[in-house]
Amino acid sequence: MENINLIDAFTVAIIFISAILAYFRGLSREILAIVSWVLSALLAFVIAPQVNPLINTIPIVKEVLTDSCQLSILISFVISFILALIFLSLLIPIFTNVVQQSSLNGLDKLLGLCFGTLRGLLIVIGIAIGYDLIILDSEKPSIMKNSKTIEIIYDIKEDAKNRMPNAKPEWITQRFDTLMTKCYE
């Protein structure tokens, strides 16, 4: 314990907080939360072009967005996403209460703890990858070089970095172009 530096303490805190939150929420609620994010994105993708005219009727917003159709569609997407996420988040407790009031509650919480621990570890790896992509090796402070966390996750982090595409995936470009078709009319 004597060699724990700030990075290691930060890592333990992230994993611990993620695990505890997931424990109290349970795996069923965590899974439904992820599903709600995906469904919100899909719903926003479908309804953003229909929401766009409504957004453009707001006086101040209309003045700002008049010059950029793409920005207008993106803002419509974000607003649609947020509203869909709020709506779906209100539905999650209805479904998860069934599990939490059954004999599966203990298993749900235990699996939630495992899920939260794994999620916390993935968050730490994601932060480490982002840090590596932004900061040059020569500029990294000694606290990073002396961190046990960085040493432990090094192989996983490097493997993940090597698997990352160098260019944006084609499916993202296709979805963006589909979303922006109204701008090209």
- Is residue 112, in this structure, part of any structural domain at all? yes
Q: Is 1 among the domain residues?
A: no
How far does Cα 34 stand from its chain's mean position?
9
Q: Where are the beta strands (DSSP E) in the chain?
A: none
pLDDT at 146: 82
Helix or strand run (H / E) with residue 174: helix 170-179
Number of domains in the chain: 1
The pLDDT of residue 2 is 59
Of 144, 167, 163, nearest to 155 (Cα)?
Answer: 163
Distance from the Cα of residue 41 to its chain's centroid: 12
C-alpha distance across the termini of the chain, in Å: 63
pLDDT in tens, the chain (185 residues): 556 788 899 999 999 999 999 999 999 999 999 999 999 999 999 999 898 888 888 887 777 777 777 888 888 999 999 999 999 999 998 888 888 888 889 999 999 999 999 999 999 999 988 888 887 767 778 787 788 888 888 899 889 888 888 777 888 888 888 888 877 76
Give the residue numbers spanning the domain of 114.
6-182
pLDDT at res. 78 = 94
